[in-house]
Structure 1
Amino acid sequence: MTRVAVLGAGGYAGGEVLRLLLAHPAVEVAQATSEQHAGKRLDFPHPHLRGASTLRFAPHDALEPCDVLVSCMPSGELIRRWSQVSPLAARIIDLSADFRLGPVDHARWYPRAPRPAELPEFVYGLPEWAGARLKDARWVAVPGCMAHAALLGLLPLVRAGLVRPEMVVVDAKTGSSGGGATPDRSSHHPERASALRCYRPTGHRHTGEIEAATERFTGTRATVHFSATAVPSVRGILATVHAFAARPLEDANEPLRALASTYREHPFVNVLRANASASPFPEPGPLSGTNHCDLSVDVDAERGRIVVNAALDNLVKGAAGTAVHALNLMLGRPETEGLGFRGLHPL
């Protein structure tokens, strides 16, 4: 059994990491830390874990050595604690934004939390694209949830040379859980429950993440125009990627073939086809609690526009599930192990 500790496990993503790991056949959850909930049982902030474990939260400073550390701390915290935390685990998986970008890009998009150049380079943990590197990785950075959805839709088109990389528009819709467990004015339920607002029309940090990851995996640097919109739901991401054809398409199904061939061997990405089901367009609801992403693609041939929709659960495929997926690959385990939940319908 691989001994795993979860650092900062009191929030929503931490709760989902615990849910998945407590049921994982090859993992022992050795420790979970939370300053706010130190001494309390795991089900105190996470009622869905009732009866799943007798473990109690420890304070961060009581973290003990383990085989793998999964950090669910807010951005900036793992960087700050790196010298104390890193000697305690041979492998570290981070769900924050601390190590998704190199020092230069990080300083641009996260000016309040600079990343020192002497810190190690993490593998960008998009399993469908970084699988080979994850098998030998010591440090892994889980992608941001909205960036994750956009990249799964965009990367096959860029790699196939189907779209103009200098003009990519991403409109991402997100539920309230993406704001974390600590409420503020914008995420407090009375303010958010019926809200439909574009809260970051420009300058969102996922812009740089999508651009850097596109170059990393395809060799082409994209120029991304990203906006984020808050919708009245708790879980879920729906990212709509608008790209423009780089050349006349052989036929309208060429983008669909690029997506389908890319993900044919990947169990957690489903490419939806028109008339194949009653719901041929992705929506987050049926994916709640799962590690799946649904994709669809449409072509406006007259205007040369290719539109990909990508839906996923921001807390699972966009966070905890990808951490466990990466862990499986790092340990040489079957990549679907512990991730078999198929979702619910209707909700």
Structure 2
Amino acid sequence: MSVRVAVLGAAGYTGGEVLRLLLAHPAVEVVQATSGQFAGKRLDFPHPHLRGMGTLRYTPHDALESCDVLVSCLPQGELLQRWQKVSLLAERVVDLSADFRLDAAGHARWYGKHPRPDGVPAFVYGLPEWMGEALTNARHVAIPGCMAHAGLLALLPLLHSGLARPDVLVVDAKTGSSGGGSTPDRSSHHPERANALRCYKPVGHRHTGELEGVVEHVTGQKPTIHFSATAVPGVRGILATVHAFAARPVEEAEVVRAIATRYREKPFVRLLRPSASLSPFPEPGPLLGTNHCDLAVDVDAERGRIVVNAAIDNLVKGAAGTAVHALNLMLGRPETEGLGFRGLHPL
């Protein structure tokens, strides 16, 4: 029998991608999709790419009914406000906001204006390439932030293998406008944003806490991570450039081998080799719509600097695709199920 899934807050950009993937998933039946703005409208009203994919219509958030799995695409803080009610309606919950990514202390520090109520269970951090075993049969999963996700896939192999020092790490992420969500403010309004190339959060970004917390959890090392975010022209895509400093003298081949070994059995992470592609460094364009992350390594052996670039589609690998990947693991399904789209070129 199909797994009955409801999508809470399904009218935004992330919700649209969750619907696109789940409506075509062979083991899932989407039984409900909620929206505060579009209740009564068909799913394709805000999502033209869903035309012809069924006759389901949006219902109000408060009309959410019981289901097997609830996937929440609500904005930051809103699932926390609804938790006592919605947690009774589904055996499993996958959340794409930041409400449950950090422990209680980290959440209070970085998201203090959205306090976490008592009695909320711990969520498994939904980074499948590193938390796969914990996701198997998990009941509550928090999907990583999109820029943090790209940074972690680049950082963790360096630290896990002991190649990089944990005390000084730099993650510089470039992101398209869709990461700001479907409700514009002045800075994300198209006339203000279309040709923007601006560093909008050089210090103090909330992904810093997420990055440091996950690195410490996975590696047992307490890192110091310097994170910055830059808005670039374009709608989708993230390119994260990670700068790490070698713990000892290393050559590029050793770094490449460590990353390749770690991700050899991971179907959605690919390490690019200069001799194997016309474009040896990753870029988001060929990845749009896919659940892949492309990585590439460069090493300045003389100065002891390791650079890893990671590219993803922020709405898929950085959000909806990883939610489906995590859901597959939670349900004991093949982890690639429903995630076979390979991208397009040229765009």
Indicate the residue corresponding to 1:274 in structure 2: 274
| SS of aligned partner of 1:87 | coil
Separation of aligned partners in 2, 1:114 and 1:168: 29
Moved more, 23-32 or 117-126: 117-126
- Confirm or deny: 8 A CA contact 1:150 1:240 kept in the other structure: yes
Amino acid at match of 1:148: H
Q: What is the aligned partner in structure 1 of residue 99 from structure 2?
A: 98
- Return the alpha-carbon distance in structure 1 between the equivalents of residues 117 and 241 of structure 2: 34
Letter in 1 for 2:289: G
Contact kept, 8 Å, 1:103 with 1:117, in 2: the verdict is no
| CA distance in structure 2 between the aligned counterparts of 1:201 and 1:77, rounded to whole angstroms | 27
Deviations 1:203-238 (A, max 9, x none): 000000000000111111211000000000000000
SS state at 2:214 partner: helix
Identify the range of structure 1 (272-281 vs 166-175) with the bigger mean alpha-carbon deviation: 272-281
Aligned length: 346
Report deviation, 1:302. Answer: 1.0
Helix, strand or coil for the counterpart of 2:22?
A: helix
Q: Report how far residue 274 of structure 1 moved.
A: 1.3
Report the equivalent of 2:29: 28
Q: 2:117 & 2:216 partners in 1: Cα distance?
A: 22
Aligned partners of 2:45, 2:252: CA distance in 1, in Å? Answer: 52
Q: Name 2:85's counterpart in structure 1.
A: 84
Q: Give the corresponding residue for 1:309.
A: 309
Contact persistence 1:282–1:311 (CA under 8 A): yes
Paired residue type of 1:310: A
Q: Secondary structure at the match of 2:106?
A: helix
What amino acid sits opposite 1:342 in the alignment?
R
Question: Structure 2 CA distance, aligned partners of 1:203 and 1:90?
Answer: 36
Matched with 2:166 is: 165
Contact 1:286 1:344 survives alignment (8 Å): yes
Aligned residue in 2 for 1:320: 320
Superposed, which structure 2 residues align to 1:137-216 within 5 Å? 137-216=138-217
- In structure 1, the partner of 2:265 is 265
1:331 corresponds to 2:334: no
Distance (whole Å) between structure 2 residues aligned to residue 246 and residue 105 of structure 1: 28
Q: Any idea what the Cα deviations from partners look like across 1:55-95, whole Å, max 9, x if unmatched?
A: 00000010000000000000101111000100100000000
Distance 1:161 1:332 in 2: 32
Q: Which amino acid aligns with 1:58?
A: T
2:252 is paired with a residue whose SS is coil
In 1, are the aligned partners of 2:137 and 2:332 still within 8 Å (CA)?
no
Q: Contact between 2:236 and 2:314, CA under 8 Å: does it hold in 1?
A: yes
> 1:99–1:141: 8 Å Cα contact kept in structure 2?
yes
Conserved 8 A contact 2:216-2:223:
yes
Q: What amino acid sits opposite 1:298 in the alignment? A: D
1:307-333 deviation line (CA, Å, top 9, x unaligned): 000000000000000000000001111
Task: Output the amino acid matched with 1:302.
Answer: E
Distance 1:175 1:2 in 2: 33
- 3-state DSSP of counterpart to 2:276: coil
**1:218 maps to what in 2?**
219
Distance in 1 (alpha carbons) for counterparts of 2:15 and 2:117? 26
What CA distance in whole angstroms lies between the structure 2 residues aligned with 1:6 and 1:87? Answer: 15
Alignment identity in percent?
A: 76
* 1:196–1:231 Cα contact (<8 Å) kept: yes
Q: CA separation in 2, counterparts of 1:51 and 1:248?
A: 57
Q: Which amino acid aligns with 1:132?
A: E
Q: CA deviation at 1:134?
A: 0.5
AA of the residue aligned to 2:157: P
Structure 1 contact 171–241 (Cα < 8 Å) conserved:
yes
**Hey, what does 2:346 align to over in structure 1?**
346
**2-side partners of 1:221 and 1:289: how far apart?**
34
Runs of 5+ in structure 1 lacking a partner? none
